[in-house]
Amino acid sequence: MSALLLVLLGLPFLAAVVLWVLPVPKADRLAAIVGAVVSGLVLVGSAVLWWDLLRPRSGSSTIGEQARTLPGRIHPYAETDVSWIPALGVRFHVAIDTISMPLIVLTALLVFLCCLYSLRITPRIGRTRSLIALLLVIETGVIGTFSAVDLVLFFLFFEAVLIPMWLVIDIWGDEHDPAGRRRAATTFVLMTVLGSALMLLGFLLVYRVTGTFDLEVLGQDPIRNGHGVALAAAVLIAIGLAVKMPLWPLHIWLPDAHAKAPTVGSVLLAGVLLKLGSYGLIRILLPVLPGATATIAPYLAGFSTVAIIAGSLACLAQTDLKRLIAYSSVGHMGFIGLGIATMSPEGLSGALFANIAHGVITGLLFFLAGAIKDRHDTSDLRTLGRALYARLPRIGGLLTFACLASLGLPGLAGFWGEMLVLLGAYHPANSLPRTTFQVMMVIAGLGTVLTAAYFLRLVRTLCQGDPAEYPAAAFAVDLSRIELITWAPLIALTVVLGVWPPLLLNHWNFL
């Protein structure tokens, strides 16, 4: 299966190169077809790899059972490990386990849906062929980040996503505000580069202490003290990854990036790229620097809790649909950060579950926001008006469904992760101050009320009302076939994960 993982890494990149270099005139539709086929093959391959990972084997425990022994520590499967830069001890070491594999499948699914969406919903500016090629490069970078077992390799794949996403925002972003989309793209790049520089410095400090960049080796012999160089490394790595999540107050790049990005850019930014930060916290900090992580955990929890409240309050003040969804991501990622900070079985299980649920639900929300913006040429709630139930009943109904899922309605995917995070905050790891975390649990619980408030207010503002108040020209075409096909998997997953959370929890929980 190691060959299959290498195929998942290489196939999208090779397809992107082919799309760029082939001199085929007017190849936009062909590019979308190629993108859909290639990303579909990656999705099938990732599903096969996940199934094989979880398959019971005689005489040994499953990888899922092994993952319960030490949170975050990798138990490699489908492993490729070859020397790359011997002088620095850098290896091309990739593998998957039950923590990384669901995120790889989520990435493959969302890229496939974005390419499928582009078959009919083409950008008004720029070339579709170049856009599809960039989406495939992003897929390679993200899968590489989730499968890297070497810190330098992790950093390189982490950075490989930066330039393609910058181009997606800068070239295919809001056509009515070219200066705004360039400003948003530039802010995204500058903030990410700053965070990456700090993260790399933290990696170098880890290497100084241990003499290795290999996560498998570091997980077997971690840096257990919580002060000095270890503490400095943990702080630098945490800040660098928090920029990508992003956590308050490092989130300043996110609202503009989402507001100006094209629909497929917003879907991948929220559904995939934000997960690079939270994954890194679990994969690197917990198993490599457990002592230092325990030292900074209360501070991480504090910033995460502030993110929950600040993101919710910002949502209540928004008049733009895409910015509102972007700020909601700040709050949701705050819950994930709080779950990681508890270092408890419940909190970590909740953070991992919420990671997947957020990618599915918020991806659907941005698809819906893009559909509404395409039909009305704006995402300004004051201009869009009301009565979406009457004007676009199917899209209005799906928007309500996605909002209810995102606010954490029991029975849908958004509920379980946040519930487990709150449970983990009530009973954090023994080395952490329990009273402090319980106070944060109460504050985060209030954040769930605010989340319900702004999503229900959005539904009332946009969906309800008298259709007679709006001219006939405002009645756009409702749900198209390609939109239904594209969104159906996300709708189904939102329901399935809500009614059957063991689909994920049984594989990588630490309970």
* Tokens read off for 114: 């974005």
Query: What pLDDT is recorded for position 138?
Result: 94
pLDDT band at 69 (very low <50, low <70, confident <90, very high): very low
Report residue 80: phi and psi, to 5°: -125, 125
Quote the CA–CA distance of 447 and 291 in Å, as a whole number. Answer: 29
Average pLDDT, the chain: 86
How does pLDDT run across 72-83, given as a tens digit for each residue?
A: 667 777 778 888
Least confidently predicted of 67-71, 108-112, 144-148, 338-342: 67-71
With contact defined as beta carbons under 8 Å apart, do 404 and 455 qualify? Answer: yes
Higher pLDDT, 494 or 223: 494
Query: What pLDDT is recorded for position 67?
Result: 44
Using alpha carbons only, give the angle 317, 195, 343 rounded to the nearest 5 degrees.
80
Per-residue exposure over 368-403, b if at least 16 CB sit within 10 Å of its own CB, e if not: bbbbbbebbeebebeebbbbbbbbbeebbebbbbbb
Q: Is 408 left (phi over 0), alpha (psi -120 to 50) or beta?
A: left
- Strands 77-85 vs 90-96: parallel, antiparallel or unpaired: antiparallel
Query: What pLDDT is recorded for position 472?
Result: 44
Does the bond joining 298 to the residue before it have cis omega, within 30 degrees of 0?
Answer: no
How does pLDDT run across 362-421, given as a tens digit for each residue?
A: 999 999 998 888 887 788 887 776 667 777 888 888 999 999 999 989 999 999 999 999
With contact defined as beta carbons under 8 Å apart, do 164 and 264 qualify? Answer: no
pLDDT tops 90 at residue 497: yes
> Positive or negative, the Cα torsion across 277, 198, 261, 462?
positive
pLDDT band at 443 (very low <50, low <70, confident <90, very high): very high
Higher pLDDT, 264 or 384: 264
pLDDT tops 90 at residue 19: no
pLDDT band at 175 (very low <50, low <70, confident <90, very high): confident
What are the residues whose beta carbons fall under 8 Å from the beta carbon of 100, sequence distance 6 or more?
Answer: 74, 146, 147, 279, 283
What are the residues whose beta carbons fall under 8 Å from the beta carbon of 37, sequence distance 6 or more?
Answer: none
* Tokens read off for 434: 């329990």
In which domain, by residue range, is 376 found? 303-511
Amino acid identity at 205: L
Query: What pLDDT is recorded for position 68?
Result: 45
Higher pLDDT, 64 or 507: 507
Higher pLDDT, 492 or 69: 492
Query: What pLDDT is recorded for position 139?
Result: 94
How does pLDDT run across 279-295, given as a tens digit for each residue?
A: 999 999 998 998 899 99
Q: Does residue 410 lie in a domain region?
A: yes
Quote the CA–CA distance of 459 and 442 in Å, as a whole number. Answer: 26
pLDDT band at 508 (very low <50, low <70, confident <90, very high): low
Whole-number CA gyration radius for the chain: 22
Quote the CA–CA distance of 419 and 205 in Å, as a whole number. Answer: 36
Q: Does residue 477 lie in a domain region?
A: yes
Rounded to an integer, what is the distance from CA 481 to the centroid of its chain? Answer: 26
DSSP string, 89-105: TEEEEEEE-TTTHHHHH
pLDDT tops 70 at residue 263: yes
The pTM of this model reads 0.89
pLDDT tops 90 at residue 177: no
Higher pLDDT, 43 or 83: 43
pLDDT tops 60 at residue 63: no
Q: Does residue 340 lie in a domain region?
A: yes
DSSP string, 139-171: HHHHHHHHHB-BHHHHHHHHHHTHHHHHHHHHH
Higher pLDDT, 375 or 309: 309
With contact defined as beta carbons under 8 Å apart, do 370 and 262 qualify? Answer: yes
Q: Does residue 247 lie in a domain region?
A: no
Which helix (H) or strand (E) covers residue 81, if one does? strand 77-85
Q: Does residue 146 lie in a domain region?
A: no
Which helix (H) or strand (E) covers residue 404, if one does? helix 393-406
Query: What pLDDT is recorded for position 215?
Result: 87
Quote the CA–CA distance of 491 and 223 in Å, as a whole number. Answer: 43
Average pLDDT in the 415-435 region? 91
Q: Does residue 254 lie in a domain region?
A: no
Q: Measuring CA to CA, how many Å separate 464 from each of 149, 374, 414? A: 50, 20, 24
Q: In terms of C-beta distances under 8 Å and separation of at least 24 residues, what long-range contacts does 428-436 make, across chains too? A: 428/297, 428/341, 428/342, 428/343, 428/344, 428/347, 429/294, 429/297, 429/342, 429/343, 429/344, 431/294, 431/343, 432/294, 432/297, 432/298, 432/342, 432/343, 433/298, 436/298, 436/301
Quote the CA–CA distance of 435 and 443 in Å, as a whole number. Answer: 13
Express as a percent the part of the chain with pLDDT over 90.
Answer: 47
How does pLDDT run across 105-121, given as a tens digit for each residue?
A: 999 999 999 999 888 76
Quote the CA–CA distance of 384 and 398 in Å, as a whole number. Answer: 17
Quote the CA–CA distance of 455 and 328 in Å, as a whole number. Answer: 9
How does pLDDT run across 194-252, given as a tens digit for each residue?
A: 999 999 999 999 998 888 888 888 888 888 877 788 999 999 999 999 998 888 888 88
pLDDT tops 70 at residue 126: no
pLDDT band at 261 (very low <50, low <70, confident <90, very high): confident
Average pLDDT in the 253-278 region? 90
Domains: count for the chain: 1
pLDDT band at 468 (very low <50, low <70, confident <90, very high): low
Higher pLDDT, 22 or 335: 335
Quote the CA–CA distance of 74 and 98 in Å, as a whole number. Answer: 9
Quote the CA–CA distance of 9 and 14 in Å, as a whole number. Answer: 9
Query: What pLDDT is recorded for position 136?
Result: 94
pLDDT tops 90 at residue 462: no
Q: Does residue 10 lie in a domain region?
A: no
Query: What pLDDT is recorded for position 469?
Result: 60
Q: Does residue 384 lie in a domain region?
A: yes
pLDDT band at 275 (very low <50, low <70, confident <90, very high): very high
Least confidently predicted of 27-41, 77-91, 473-487: 473-487
Closest CA to 329 of 377, 277, 288, 286: 277
* Tokens read off for 505: 């929890």
